[in-house]
Every structure is written in structure tokens, then in C-alpha cells.
Amino acid sequence: MQKTERLILASKSPRRQELLGMLTRQFTVITADVNEARICKEFSDQRDKFADYNSLAAEMVRALAAAKATAVATAVAPLADRVILAADTIVVLDEEVLGKPRNKDEAREMLYRLSGRDHQVFTGVHILTQSRSESFHAEARVRFFPLDDFTRQCIDFYVAGGSSLDKAGAYGIQDEGAFFVQSIDGDFFTVMGLPVAETVRRLYKYIPEVFF
């Protein structure tokens, strides 16, 4: 087995690939399909079991990441000495998860709803090996600028370009979606899709040789 294959990133997201590439070049991308809508519905149906919606969202996003890691582990079995890293990000507004918009009209609607408001971004991370696993999550509060003429023009421009369609909440903080963001309370990289500092500290316990 080549050294570059020891660490597997279970994510199609180019943003996560870019962020993991900041930490190490020694990884392979392998993905497998997961029914994310079913997992989200299962948690939503158990709303009464959680003290608040933030607790539900945190468990939901960790479960999504774990499902991705498990699906890839099944696809590449036997896992041997490989380490799988998976992550998922959700945007929460008014106790509702805003996923990836289905079309440009829905993307525009999401961005209008977020304007002038605070929302929560949760990113769950799961690390899986043949003998053990662990999950954690990070969260950040993001506030968008109010809806004015400039914001409306930004939304029209952003939605027309199509890049909002593959992002939770219809925006990416690393591209023109940054035009909407007035403030962040928390980690920028959590909003982007992978809490870099915490992730590298945890991965180092499993495969220190790929970092230094």
C-alpha cells in the first residue's frame, strides 16, 4: 500500500479537499452515497428528545459524518491500517436545517431569509479506523448584512453564477458568498466545512507521519 493511501477523505467537497491539502498532501479521496435526507428526518422526528435544537443539530451533523465514513469503510474493506476522515456541514435558521438548494429559485429564497439574521453553522467530523473511531463537531454563529439594494444585487449575481447550488445554506464563505457576511462568532474554517485546527490535532494521534 502506498503511503498516500493511508488517509482517506470521504468527501466530494472541493473545499474540504482544499482544507485537508493545507495539512497534508498524503491523502486519497474516496466517496460513497449516503441517504442524508433520511438521517436528517430521523433526527427531526426525535425533536422532543433534545433539550434544544442546537443539541439536535450537533448530533445530526456528527451522525451524517459518521455515516459517510462508515459507507466508505464498507466500500474499501478490508480497512487494514487506513484512516478515514469524513465531515458534513449544516446551516440552521429558526430551528430548520437549510441544506443545498434544489434550484436557483430556492437558493435565492434561502439567501433572502438569511439576510439581516444570525444563523448557526455546524460541522461534524468523524475519524474511523479498523479498531476505533471518534466524532466531534464545531459550530459558529454567522450574521448576514441586512437586505438592501447592494445585497439584492449580490444575491442575483451569486445565484446566477450557479456556485450556490452545491453549498448548505446556498453560500460559501470562501467565495463571493463572503459579500453577505457581516460577522462570525467562531471558526472561519468551520463555516467553510472543516475545523482545521481541531481536525489536525486529532488526526495526528492516528497518523503523525503524514504531517511532519
- Position 212 scores a pLDDT of 76
CATH 3.50.50.60 fits 3-210, yes or no: no
**What's the average model confidence in pLDDT over 20-32?**
93
Domain spans of the chain? Answer: 3-210
Which is more confidently placed, 5 or 21? 21
- Say yes or no to pLDDT of 3 above 50: no
Q: 3-class DSSP state for residue 140?
A: strand
Cis peptide before 101 (omega within 30 of 0): no
Asked whether the predicted pLDDT for residue 2 surpasses 90, the reply is: no
Supply φ then ψ for residue 18, to 5 degrees: -65, -45
**What pLDDT, on the 0 to 100 scale, is given for residue 97?**
92
Residues 74-118: tens digit of each pLDDT: 999 999 999 999 999 999 999 999 989 999 999 999 999 999 999
State what percent of residues in the chain have pLDDT above 70.
Answer: 98
The one-letter amino acid at 22: M
Residue 4, pLDDT above cutoff 50:
no
- Residue 5 pLDDT: 75
Q: Which of 45, 88, 175, 185 is catalytic?
A: 88
Q: What are the pLDDT digits (tens) for 169-208?
A: 999 999 999 999 999 999 999 999 999 999 999 999 999 9
133-136: long-range contacts (C-beta < 8 A, 24 or more apart)? 133/66, 133/69, 134/202, 135/62, 135/65, 135/66, 136/62, 136/198, 136/202
Pairing status of strand 181-185 against strand 133-144? antiparallel
pTM comes to: 0.93
Q: Residue 42's pLDDT is what?
A: 94
Q: Which segments within the chain are labelled E, that is strand? A: 7-9, 28-29, 83-93, 96-98, 118-128, 133-144, 181-185
pLDDT at res. 211: 85
Quote the percentage of the chain above a pLDDT of 90.
91
d(CA 99, CA 89): 9
φ and ψ at 22, to 5 degrees? -70, -30
Determine whether 33 is an active site residue: no
Q: 158 pLDDT exceeds 50? A: yes
